[in-house]
Amino acid sequence: MILPGATIGLLGGGQLGRMFTARARGMGYAVTVLDPDPDSPAGGIATQHLCAPYTDPTALDSLAARCAVVTTEFENVPAGALTQLNRSVQVRPGARALSVAQDRAHEKRFLESHGIATAPFAIVESAGDLASAWAAIGAPALLKTSRLGYDGKGQCPISTFAELEQGFSRLGEVPCVLEQRLTLDAELSVVLARGDDGHVEAFPPGQNIHRNGILETTTVPSRLPTALAQEAVETAATIAQLLDYVGVLGVEFFIDPAQRVYTNEIAPRPHNSGHFTQDACSVSQFEQQIRAICGLPLARPILHTPVCMINLLGELWQHDHAPPWDRVLALEGVHLHLYGKAAARPGRKMGHLNCLADSSEEAFTLAHTAWGILRGTSASRIPTPRTS
């Protein structure tokens, strides 16, 4: 058991790391962040920022020497870094979970091997695999790089074999997964924590809407039938058990019109769709991560109020002017979280709003009212979550 006063190490210094660090320091822990960016959001509020590449042997040795446990902010941690750290300090979640989640092909095969439903897929290792992948999957489909893709990056929509050839070339002819593009009724995510004793606590599932491959909103409670939500929670818990996972895990799901549940992706860390927990729950996903990796008892998550989380992207910072925060914060139930990023770019996550109300529908409307104020446009263009 690692108690407050100890030092936690963090590989990665982005917004997830910043929110984790803020909660850890509030609980009395010191935090040492290893991140190569001198302006990293987490590094700016950490007890110490080791500004060095993730593979720097000296920095890794320093991190291990200072910390009682090390955790990760993102899944694409170089394997060599984990190997070196594991020689002298405990890393949670472990290398196996990270290796599964950082490679789509590995992830899909892992899920398939345990009977967990995914969209039909085929592995494309080289141009020689394109014809057989096309024969197996056909159109419509998505071609996704096996590694490093996120927020809609590293993928191409495919409707013809010619597009598949062009897409593979455009993605650099790196290993890919060709995935059948399902007709979706809804998207759902489950964020849970699992302790080193195997105990699991799950937050209420969130219903998600994506725009251009980037998560736009998460609404809780979802509008989906209870049985579907429970199936997703049980599947996520099974995945955590199979990985012998310790920490917070995010799992994304697709729901098709026949109400079948498909696992889309595993995120071995706190998740964007779990940000609602900061203001609407008895415990946040970041505190649960700290509790899990430090061997402390997990809290039982209780949703205090319906909520809609909406991401704030760099487009809102038009003409170098800050958005009208005063007008948004005048709305009852709106809570602002900014990530401390210096440069606002289109598509870059700069912060989020948690919008609390008396029902999911009202929270969703409030979030898009706030979004419309920030954007200076009508909120009527925002899609509405489907009700099954």
Contact call for residues 157 and 239 (beta carbons, < 8 A): no
Contact call for residues 78 and 54 (beta carbons, < 8 A): yes
Instruction: Determine the Cα–Cα distance for residues 303 and 301; give it in Å rounded to an integer.
Output: 7
Report the Cα 147 to chain-centroid distance in Å: 15
pLDDT at 95: 86
Q: 378: which residues sit within 8 A by CB, 6+ positions away? A: 372
pLDDT at 320: 67
Instruction: Determine the Cα–Cα distance for residues 383 and 300; give it in Å rounded to an integer.
Output: 32
Superfamily of domain 120-180: ATP-grasp fold, A domain (3.30.1490.20)
Where exactly are the structural domains of the chain? 7-91, 120-180, 186-381
Q: Which two tokens stand for residue 26?
A: 């509030």
pLDDT at 383: 47
**Ordered alpha helix ranges (H), 87-191:** 95-101, 104-113, 130-137, 161-170
Helix, strand and coil content of the chain, in percent to the nearest 5, comes to: 35, 25, 40
Contact call for residues 111 and 265 (beta carbons, < 8 A): no
Pairing state of beta strands 247-255 and 186-194?
antiparallel
CATH of domain 186-381: 3.30.470.20
pTM: 0.93
pLDDT at 74: 87
| Helices and strands (H and E) in the chain: how many | 12, 18
pLDDT at 388: 36
pLDDT at 377: 64
Give bridge partners of residue 312 from the DSSP assignment.
351
Contact call for residues 369 and 353 (beta carbons, < 8 A): no
Number of Cβ within 10 Å of residue 118's Cβ equals 20
Contact call for residues 44 and 65 (beta carbons, < 8 A): no
pLDDT at 152: 61
Contact call for residues 270 and 16 (beta carbons, < 8 A): yes
Residues across the chain: 388
Helix (H, G, I), strand (E, B) or coil at 92: coil
Write the pLDDT tens digit of every residue in 251-268.
Answer: 999 999 999 999 999 999
Q: What fold characterizes domain 7-91?
A: Rossmann fold (3.40.50)
Report the Cα 266 to chain-centroid distance in Å: 8
Beta strands in 155-196 (DSSP E): 155-158, 176-180, 186-194
Contact call for residues 270 and 228 (beta carbons, < 8 A): no
Q: 234: which residues sit within 8 A by CB, 6+ positions away? A: none
Mean pLDDT, 10 residues at a time, the chain of 388 residues:
97 96 98 96 97 96 97 87 92 90 93 97 95 95 85 83 94 94 95 97 97 94 94 98 96 96 95 98 98 98 98 86 91 97 90 98 97 74 44
pLDDT at 149: 64
pLDDT at 379: 47
Q: 122: which residues sit within 8 A by CB, 6+ positions away? A: 129, 132, 133, 136, 137, 177, 178
